[in-house]
Amino acid sequence: MKKKLGFFGVLLVTALMVYIAAFGIKTEKIKLYGAPDIRFGIDIRGGVEAIFQPVGIDTKPTHEQLEAARAVFETRLDQRNIVDREVIPSTTEGYIIVRFPWKADETEFDPAKAIEELGQTAKLTFRDAQGNILLDGQHVVNAKPDRDENNFPVVSLSFDDEGTKIFSNITKKLIGQPLSIYMDEENICTATVMTQITNGQAVITNMKSFENAQKLANQINSGALPFSMETKTYSTISPSLGTGSLKVMINAGLIAYIIICILLIVYYRLPGFVASIALLIQIAGQILFLSIPQMSLTLSGIAGIILSIGMGVDANVISSERINEEIRAGKSIEAAIEAGFSNSFSSIFDGNVTVLIVSIILMLYGSGSLASFGYTLFAGIVFNFIAGVTASRIMIYSLSSYKFLKKPALYTCLTRRVTL
Amino acid sequence: MKEGKIIHFYKNRKIFFAISAAIMIIGILFSIFKGVVLDIQFTGGALLSYSYDGEIDENRAGDIATDILGRPVTPQLTESISEGTKKLVLNIAGKSGVDPLDQAELEKALKAEFPQANLELSEAQMVEKFFGDKFMKRGITALLLSTALVLVYVWIRFKIVGGLSAGVTAIIALVHDCLVVFFTCVIFGLPIGDNFVAVALSIIGYSINDTIVIYDRIRENAKLYSGYEVETIADLSITQSMTRSIMTNLCVMISVSLVYILAFANSIESVQSFALPMAIGSISGCYSTICISGPLWVMWKKKKGENIITVEKKEEKKDTKAKKYYY
C-alpha cells in the first residue's frame, strides 16, 4: 500500500514546490519567496554596473579608505532613493563594484551622469543650526567606532592641528547648541556640543548601535579621503532591453519544456511521463534556490536553468534506456526497474559530479554573469539528484505496482538491446 | 525480441578522425584569415547602443561621436526582426572605456542632432584594458582548472579500465568540443568573451558526462564479458549507450536552439552569442563521445599491447600492481 501511494506523495510534493515557486508563501510566520519576488540582475531589469577605481593616489587604498568611499556611495544612492543596490569594496584589488537598478518609469534618469556624480570626492562639512559652514571635513584625521566606559557605542574623532584650533573655537561658541555634519548637502549627524574641546579629540555619543557608529565613522572619514573615485569600466542596460531578453528566455524555456516532455513521453512512455514530473521538480527547486535566499537571477543564470534541464533529461534517459534493456533481456517489470536504476546510478553520479566541479569553479572564478550561471547550474545538479534519481525511482516503483500499468510495452522504447 | 547489431566504431575510426581533422583545419583557416574577435570584455574597449525611431544618418552620428570622444567611431544600424526596434550601435576604437561625462555629452549632442528620432540609451559597455586582461585571465584559469580537475576525477574513478587512458582520451574529446565551440564563434564572427567561457565550461561538463557514460558501460561490460577484445567491448558499449547520447543531446539542442531562434528574432545579441555555440557544441559533444573518445581509447590500449581486458570481479579492489597481471 505504501508503495502504491508513493507516486501521489511525490506528486503532492511536486505540486507544493511548483505552487511555492510560482506564487511564494507569505504569512506572518513564514515567508518563502517565489518567482514573483525573484531578484533580477541588472542585465534583466536594467541598471548600472560599474567598477570604481581611486584616482589621485599611487598606492592601493587602505581598507578604511575603501570603507569610507563605500559610505559615500551608499549615502549618495540613499539620496537618490535607490535602495536596492550592491556596493562591494575589494580591499585586495583596491576597487569598488557598484550595481544599481534603473527603473523603467524614470525617464529623466541619466545613468552616465549618475555614475559620474557617484565617484566625485565627497564634501564633508561641519555646520551650525543655521547651516553656516564652520569646518571642512578635510581636517578630520580619523573617525572610528568605539565604546564608552558604559559600553555604549560612540564615534571618536580626531582632528589635525588646524582642525583642532578651529574645532576648539566652534565648540566654545556652540556649547549647548547643535552641531551638524553634512556629506554633500545631506545631514548625516546632528549632535549637541557639551563642552569646549581643545585637544582635537571629540566623541559623538548616543549612537543607536555599534553598526550605526561604524557607518557614521565611515561617512566622516570620507571627508579626508585623498582621492576621488573614477570609472571607465561600466555597463548600462536599459530596462526595456533587459525585460525583452527575459521574455525571450522564459518563452524559450516553456516551449523547450513542452517539446522535451512530448519527446520523452512518446519515446519512453511511462518512464518518460515520470521524467516530465521529475523535470518539473527540478525547475521548481531551482527557482526556489534563487528566490528564497534572494539571489539575483541574471540572463546567464536563466541559461544555466535551461542547460540543467538538459542534464535532468539525461539522468532520466539513462534510467529509462536501462529499464528498456532489462525488459528486452527478459526480466520481469519489477526486476527490470530494480536493475535499471541500480545499473544507471554510477554513470549518472559520475556525470553529475563532473558538472558539479565545473559549476563550483564557475562560482569561485567567474565574475558577475559567470558566477550566476554557475550558481543555477549548481542548483540544477543538486535537484537533479533529488528529482532525476530519487523522485523518479519512487514514482516508477509506485506506478508499476498498479495492475493496469503492469504492461512491458509501457516501459520499453524503440532502442534495441545489443549484446555479444 | 529482436536484438540490435553492434556498430563498428573502431573499424571506421579513420573516417571519424578525418572528419574531425577536416573541421579543425577549416576552423584554423578561418581563425587565420578571418581573425579571432575578442569581446571588449577581454580586450578593453567601448560600445554604445541607442534605440531610435524613424531614420538616422549613421555616418553623421559616427562623425559627431568621433568629434566628441576624440576617438574613431564606427557606427552601425540594426533592426530586430520580430518587433522592428531599431538601434544605432557605436563602436568606439581603442582599448579603454569612455568617461561617463563624455558619454552624457555625446548623448546630448546626438539628441540635438536628431530631435525627431526619440533616441534612448539602450546599452553601454565600457571596459578598461586592465580589467579586460583580468577577466580574460580569470576565464582561462576557470577553463584550465576545470579540465584538470575533471581529468583527475576520471582517472581515479576509472582505474579499472586504465584510469589514465580513460582520462586522457576523455580530455581529448573535450578539447575537441571546446575547439568546435571556439571555431563556431570565429566563423560566425561572435566575439570571444564571458559567454564563450560559459559555453565552453558547460560543453566540458556535457562532453565529459557523455564520455563517462560510455566508460561506465565499458567498465561494466569488461566485467560481464571478461576475455573479449577491447575493440569489441568498446564498440558494444558505445552502441549500447548511443541512443541515450543522442536523446540527451537532442533535448539540449532543442532548448538551446529555441533560445537562439527567439533571441535572433528579437535581436538580443548577448543571448545569441551564447546560444549558437552552445547548440553546435552539444552536437559536437555527442559526436566526439561516440566517434572519437571510444576508438581513441581502444587505440591507446592496443598500442600498449593490452588487446584483451580481463577483469575478474574479485580483483576489482586489488592494488595496481596486481591488476597489471590480469590486463
Summarised one tens digit per residue, pLDDT across range A131-158 is 888 998 888 888 989 998 888 999 999 9
Q: Alpha-carbon distance A86 to A100, whole Å? A: 6
User: Identity (one letter) of the amino acid at A234?
Assistant: Y
Q: Cβ contacts (< 8 Å) between A314 and chain B: which residues? A: 209, 244, 248
Is B103 an 8 Å CB contact of chain A?
yes
Contacts (Cβ under 8 Å, ≥6 apart) of B26? B183
From A19-23, A369-373, B17-21, the region with the lowest mean pLDDT: A369-373
User: Identity (one letter) of the amino acid at A326?
Assistant: E
C-alpha cell at B25: 583545419
C-alpha cell at B104: 552624457
Q: What is the DSSP letter of B289?
A: I
Mean pLDDT of B75-91: 86
Q: What is the DSSP letter of B193?
A: S
Grade residue B323 by pLDDT with cuts at 50, 70 and 90.
Answer: very low
The pLDDT of residue A107 is 63
Is B226 an 8 Å CB contact of chain A?
no
Among residues of chain A, what percentage have pLDDT more than 90? Answer: 35
Grade residue A105 by pLDDT with cuts at 50, 70 and 90.
Answer: low
Please tell me which of the candidates A113, A303, A351 has its beta carbon nearest to residue B274. A303
* DSSP SS3 for A229: strand
Q: Looking at CA atoms only, how far is residue B33 from chain A in angstroms? A: 30
User: Identity (one letter) of the amino acid at A52?
Assistant: F
Q: Alpha-carbon distance B146 to B4, whole Å? A: 37
pLDDT digits (tens, 9 = 90+) for A233-261: 998 888 888 788 888 888 888 898 999 99
Q: Alpha-carbon distance A281 to B266, whole Å? A: 30
Domain A2-40+239-410: which topology? Multidrug efflux transporter AcrB transmembrane fold (1.20.1640)
Q: Cβ contacts (< 8 Å) between A307 and chain B: which residues? A: 202, 252, 255-256, 278
Q: Alpha-carbon distance B32 to A395, whole Å? A: 54
pLDDT digits (tens, 9 = 90+) for B136-154: 998 888 889 888 888 888 8
User: Identity (one letter) of the amino acid at B216?
Assistant: D
The pLDDT of residue A297 is 87
Q: Which residues pair with A135 in a beta bridge?
A: A126
User: Identity (one letter) of the amino acid at B12?
Assistant: N
C-alpha cell at B55: 531614420
pTM reported for the whole predicted model? 0.82
C-alpha cell at B291: 566517434
Higher pLDDT, B309 or B113: B113
By C-alpha distance, the chain A residue nearest B97 is: A232
C-alpha cell at A347: 554513470
Category of B295 on φ-ψ map: left (φ > 0), alpha (ψ -120 to 50) or beta: alpha
The pLDDT of residue B325 is 35
Domains in chain B, ordered, with CATH?
Answer: 13-38+132-324 (1.20.1640.10), 45-127 (3.30.70.260)
CA distances from A254 to A279, A331, B256 (A): 12, 37, 12
**So where are chain A's domains?**
2-40+239-410, 47-237
**Residue burial B232-249, b: 16+ Cβ < 10 Å; e: rest:** bbbbbbbbbbbbbbebbb
pLDDT digits (tens, 9 = 90+) for B227-286: 888 999 999 999 999 999 899 888 888 888 988 998 888 888 778 888 899 899 989 988
> Which ranges constitute the DSSP H helices of A329-389?
333-365, 369-384
Q: Cβ contacts (< 8 Å) between B135 and chain A: which residues? A: 367
